[in-house]
Amino acid sequence: MPVPTLFQPLVLPNRAIIPNRLAKAAMEENMATVDHRPSPTLIRLYRTWAEGGAGLLITGNVMIDRRAMTGPAGVVLEQGADLGPFRQWAEAGRAGGGQLWMQINHPGRQMRASLGQETVAPSAVALDLGSYSKLFAVPRAMTEADIADVTRRFAQTAALAEQAGFTGVQIHAAHGYLLSQFLSPLTNRRDDRWGGPLENRARLLLDIVRAVRAAVSPGFCVAVKLNSADFQRGGFAPEEARQVVAWLNDLAVDLVELSGGSYEAPAMQGPGTSEKTRDGRTLAREAYFLEFAADINQVARMPLMVTGGIRRVEVAARVVDSGVAMAGMATALALAPGLPRAWQRGQGVEAALPPIRWERKTLAAMGTMAVVKAQLRRLGRGQPAKPDVSPALALLADQLRIGWRSYRYRSRMMPVA
């Protein structure tokens, strides 16, 4: 039987309407052209998702600066970009009648050293990934000029997204990327107005939200993706997330998505990837961050969205019935892009990958990401998903692809003599 609450529209604070309560959450597709524009394959992937019935599609992270990339094949939208492919992307993503928001991001220290670019962060704190730490350079602490430039770029990219036909943006302040690094006392060790107490650590996020809101029209949606916790001892804590949401209440934010974790503690990938760092209360859940959302919902005046592990209609319905406005899905829609339509027809379809039980948790997380990316490429080519792909082969192919694209990226970024 269909679950009515999942298919009721949601009216956002700016009066925009999301036609149902199911969202395709962001996944890092890394399917851009060599010059970082949306590729035909990426555009086809989003048309497939749009036709699948989700009320909201949130893109994989679009970078605000081509010098700061989460991956060598990522999309970049900055001043001077050709908006033609972005308009095609927006048209495809809105083909099903839903909202399409562009997730905008800066990686900070979470940028591979193989890309050959200077890495910046709040403080010069390197990633601790054990034997994999060498994949990432020690970052340089950002100057006031760097911080001002990042703020300007977030606002500029949001304005360009609106011009291209997207209906909103999501500012990425989770998963250990730059804005999350500013929020966490583990990675932000500054002693100026950007560090120390939470009010200072949250300053950059709040400034960027204000700048973005000022750069776009009132009807254009502005959302934030926020960690409910870092799942690292001494990191960004649930009570701090609650306070940040309280501050966001006054900044015309239309939705906050709650997630958690980082490259060091990939809690967003669920059980089997980071049990040593995750809060034990959440391990048995499919909706990993629902408990945190219930607490934060007590102070939030904007709608909340929870993403993480949702793959069954009963779980999605429980999320919405708990008072959370939107249920976000990622991996499930990489495997079954038509899941929302199937659920609306009353079909109890579910989609899940077999867990990767490798001893090295960092390697297991990389394997999971590689398997998901393999599904996205298949969908973008018009092929069905193939959940039983070998994680080892998928990871090998992904690393080879990253290596080749990294070489091409470095070549394009080399200064002209």
The residues, ordered by sequence, that sit 6+ positions from 386 with a Cβ below 8 Å of its Cβ are: 374, 375, 378
What pLDDT score was predicted for residue 279? 39
CA-based angle 112:115:118, to the nearest 5?
A: 85
Residue 147 has pLDDT above 50, yes or no: yes
Could you give the 3-state DSSP secondary structure of residue 357? coil
* CA atoms 414, 415, 416, 417: torsion sign: negative
Using the predicted structure, report yes or no on whether residue 356 has a pLDDT greater than 50. Answer: yes
Confidence class of residue 324 from pLDDT cuts 50, 70 and 90? very high
- Count, in order, helices (H) and strands (E) of the chain: 13, 13
Look at residue 130 in the predicted model and tell me its pLDDT.
83
Average pLDDT across the chain, whole number: 90
Question: What burial letters (b/e) apply to 138-172, b meaning 16+ CB within 10 Å?
Answer: ebebbeeeebeebbebbbbbbbbbbebbbbbbbbb
Predicted local confidence at residue 132, as pLDDT: 81
Angle among Cα 2, 103, 13 to the nearest 5 degrees reads 65
**Given this model, what pLDDT does residue 379 score?**
97
> What's 76's DSSP letter?
B
Average pLDDT over residues 234-249: 91
Residue that wins the pLDDT comparison between 213 and 348: 213
81 or 264: which carries more pLDDT confidence?
81
Phi-psi region of 248 (alpha: psi -120 to 50; beta: other; left: phi over 0): alpha
pLDDT in tens, 205-237: 999 999 999 999 999 999 999 988 666 666 788
The dihedrals phi and psi of 99, each to the nearest 5 degrees, come to: -85, 150
* Percent of residues, the chain, with pLDDT higher than 90: 77
pLDDT band with cut points at 50, 70 and 90 for residue 52: very high
pLDDT at site 272: 44
pLDDT band for position 353 (50/70/90)?
A: confident
The CATH number fitting domain 4-413, selected from 3.10.20.440, 3.20.20.70, 3.20.20.370, 3.30.420.40: 3.20.20.70
* % of the chain at pLDDT higher than 70: 90
Q: Which amino acid is at 67?
A: R
Per-residue pLDDT for 1 more than 70?
no
Report DSSP state, residue 258. E
Lowest mean pLDDT across 40-54, 164-178, 301-315: 301-315
Q: What does the pLDDT read at residue 232?
A: 66
> At 346, phi and psi to the nearest 5?
90, 10
Phi and psi dihedrals of 270, rounded to 5? 90, -175
Whether the predicted model's global pTM rises above the 0.85 cut: yes
Q: What is the pLDDT of residues 256-302, one digit of tens each?
A: 999 876 676 554 445 444 433 333 333 334 556 788 888 999 999 99
Residues 105-129 have a mean pLDDT of 95
Residues 49-76 have a mean pLDDT of 97
Over residues 116-141, the mean pLDDT reads 92
